[in-house]
Amino acid sequence: MPTSSERPSSEDFHTLGLEPDAALSEVKKAYRDLAKQWHPDRFHQHAPRDRRRSEEKFKLITGAYRRISRDLKSREKAYPPHPGSQGDGQRPAGPRRSSADRNGKEATSPAGRASIKKVWRVLQPEWRFPAVLTTRKIAWSLTALVICGLVISFVPSSDAPSQRSLPSSPESISKQTPHPATSIDRQPGKAGPGGAPGNLISSEQEPDQTVDPGRETTTPHFTLGSSEAHVLRVQGPPAKIHGQTWFYGLSEIQFREGRVWRYNNFDHSLRVRLVPSHEPSGSLPSFFTVGSTQDEVLLVQGTPTRVDGSKWYFGFSEVRFRHGRVDDYDNYFGNLKVRLLPSKPSDAAARNGCFTIGSTQDEVLTVQGTPTSIQGNFWFYQFSNILFRDGKVQHVVNAAGNLHFIPPDDLAKQMNKPE
């Protein structure tokens, strides 16, 4: 049990925005949301005062979560939930051993116990005063007891089926889960699960994946497309199952038709690895760019922290794919090794050191370098942004004052100014 100094206070619950009677699952969700909001990585480019505030806030959130979660877990160990209930944050109740299993005797079901109580209520007034018992009443009582025994013997002793039980072994889970014939989309001519390494999905509607289920039996990790049985061998039993999602601490794995579809390795407790579908030829790239393949991103960045459909997350940075190639990205937190280079460097832009309305993307790249974030037609440089139409600058918001932008009239005056 936690000591008095480790026990949570009302201030801890207030820090997480929870009531004192909050369940463990609510505590985990609140911590996950607040940790994302106040993580110091989100403030590394802010003012020093904001950075200090985020560090202090993150420390308070982490301390409150640690004390509350420890207290709740210790309470669950000391006072386990009723056998008929399911503890919050714990794995679903599976089939329980009956009293017959534990004691080697035939168990009495709830229905049987109810029958005994009924007979006892009938007999109780008579047995309370043995002096008034007659031979006839004794015979009737014995007959009732025999009937009660027959009723008990015909009532099944096993409990009603519970919710979906947690698989205890890979063999048991493989029997429960049908093998999906089309759970992972592949290009024509490629081997399916259990064969050669899979390829990337090329579909807007389906998640982009690099899948290698053929290595399941020899590798100490799982990947996209791995079966539930393989995840169980690698990770062990999850702390909680909700629908098709397995939870390990603050991390989660989502299945579709028995295969890993998405995951979020928030607290780095998952042994997950994504590998390129083909071995690289030549030297490894040092950066990726818009239009790079998923294999190229993996070679540069390694395994994503989180995969959500066509979005890959590396820490708090994000890469978005379209048809298996990089379409957008958000590198506000600087975790991505991304670079955009002009296809044709602009001598005029380099000479002037600025861009203006109507400038091309190559001219902007020549002057500004790689954007912090690209979202559709918007390029972001920290808090400033540039809107392109048909590949040319249409609108500029220089909120951070970091853009080398000059309005067209000012640029014309500058160019016409005699030297």
What's the whole-number average pLDDT of the chain? 75
389 class by beta-carbon count within 10 Å (0-12 exposed, 13-18 middle, 19+ buried): exposed
Residue 123 sits in the same domain as residue 218: no
Answer yes or no: are the C-beta atoms of 208 and 200 closer than 8 Å: yes
Please report the pLDDT score of residue 209 as a whole number: 43
Please report the pLDDT score of residue 409 as a whole number: 81
Please report the pLDDT score of residue 228 as a whole number: 97
Distance CA 350, CA 329 (A): 26
User: For residue 87, is it within any domain?
Assistant: no
Please report the pLDDT score of residue 205 as a whole number: 35
Of the listed ranges 59-63, 146-150, 160-164, 282-286, the least confidently predicted one is 160-164
pLDDT at 296 over 60: yes
pLDDT at 218 over 60: no
293: which strand partners? Answer: 325
CA 254 and chain centroid, separation: 7
Query: What totals of helices (H) and strands (E) does the chain contain, helices first?
Result: 12, 12
The residue with greater pLDDT, 47 or 103, is: 47
The residue with greater pLDDT, 15 or 130, is: 15
Q: Which of 290, 305, 330 is the last residue of a domain?
A: 330
Of the listed ranges 33-42, 89-98, 231-240, 273-282, the least confidently predicted one is 89-98
pLDDT-based confidence at residue 129 (cuts at 50, 70, 90): very low
Count the domains in the chain: 4
Distance CA 302, CA 329 (A): 16
Q: Which of 304, 330, 356 is the last residue of a domain?
A: 330
Answer yes or no: are the C-beta atoms of 87 and 76 closer than 8 Å: yes
- Tell me the CATH number at 36: 1.10.287.110
User: For residue 4, is it within any domain?
Assistant: no
Residue 219 sits in the same domain as residue 133: no
Residue 198 sits in the same domain as residue 300: yes
Spatial neighbors of 310 by CB under 8 A, at least 6 apart, are 204, 207, 208, 320, 321, 322
User: For residue 47, is it within any domain?
Assistant: yes
Distance CA 196, CA 388 (A): 43
User: For residue 400, is it within any domain?
Assistant: yes
pLDDT at 7 over 50: yes
The residue with greater pLDDT, 75 or 146, is: 75
User: Residue 188 gets which letter from DSSP?
Assistant: T
Dihedral sign (CA 35, 40, 45, 50): positive
Answer yes or no: are the C-beta atoms of 225 and 198 closer than 8 Å: yes
Distance CA 148, CA 119 (A): 7
Q: Domain of 400?
A: 347-416
246: which strand partners? Answer: 241, 253
256: which strand partners? Answer: 259
Helix (H, G, I), strand (E, B) or coil at 118: helix
Distance CA 273, CA 280 (A): 17
Spatial neighbors of 229 by CB under 8 A, at least 6 apart, are 170, 171, 173, 174, 177
pLDDT-based confidence at residue 260 (cuts at 50, 70, 90): very high
pLDDT tens digits along 320-376: 999 999 999 999 999 999 999 999 877 777 778 899 999 999 999 999 999 999 999
What is the phi/psi pair of residue 116, to 5°?
-60, -45
Helix (H, G, I), strand (E, B) or coil at 31: helix
pLDDT tens digits along 66-121: 889 888 888 877 776 655 554 444 444 444 444 444 444 444 455 555 555 554 55
Two tokens, residue 365: 């790249």
User: For residue 340, is it within any domain?
Assistant: no
Distances (CA, A) of 22 to 12, 16, 33, 81, 140: 12, 10, 16, 16, 55
